[in-house]
Amino acid sequence: MRYPYAYPNDHAPIVPKEFIKRYCPNADTVRNHRLLQFFGEHLHSPNLWHLNRRSVARGVALGVFWALVPLPLQMIGVVASAILWRANIPIGLVLVWMTNPFTIPPIFLGTYLFGNWLLGKPGITPPEHVTIDWFTQSIGDIWQPLVLGSLSIGIVLAALSYFAIDYLWRYTVRKRWKNRLGSRVN
């Protein structure tokens, strides 16, 4: 006998909550992280860990934004923003790692070039072998276009990701309800 709300295993829709739970860190892992200890009791609010459409969309937007901010310790920025905007912390933390040691050079080169374009500057040409010394000597010329480009792209991508996640969540729920109603009739 089939239950009216049961799905055959091979036709089960992808449920956003199940997908997110599979790939995100749990609340205890985040609460006990050494860099986030100073947030204290603020990390214990259950709203920061709920998986609903709005909190997940906010978490994605914050994670994308902070990933593009050229500062160290972006995780702290994500958590502080998530506390203020009641966003899902694990989602933001996972997405902030879009920028990692492998992706930082191409991402920040792109934001630097975009910032130069916005400022109408030609930009500087890096030497054949970029070194820390060259970077520290050139930081005065680099920082303005890098920050402007990073913030501009970060804001736009954060807004687009918020609306994309919101739409995808609604679409998935609608499709699930439509399948559920169709299986009830049969």
Quick one: what percent of the chain has pLDDT higher than 90? 33
| Count of residues making up the chain | 186
- Whole-number Å distance between alpha carbons of 34 and 69: 22
**Nearest of 166, 118, 178, 124 to residue 16 by alpha carbon:** 166
What six digits make up the tokens of 55?
């909190």
Q: Where are the domains of the chain?
A: 12-175
Residue 111 · residue 146 · CB < 8 Å: yes
Residue 47 · residue 86 · CB < 8 Å: yes
- Whole-number Å distance between alpha carbons of 75 and 96: 7
**What pLDDT does residue 6 have?**
45
Confidence of residue 185 (pLDDT cuts 50, 70, 90): low
**What pLDDT does residue 155 have?**
97
- Tell me the average pLDDT of the chain: 82
**pLDDT tens-digit map of 75-106:** 889 999 998 998 998 899 889 999 988 898 88
> Residue 114 above 90 pLDDT?
yes
What six digits make up the tokens of 126?
């890096």
Quote the pTM value. Answer: 0.76
**Nearest of 102, 94, 48, 104 to residue 72 by alpha carbon:** 104
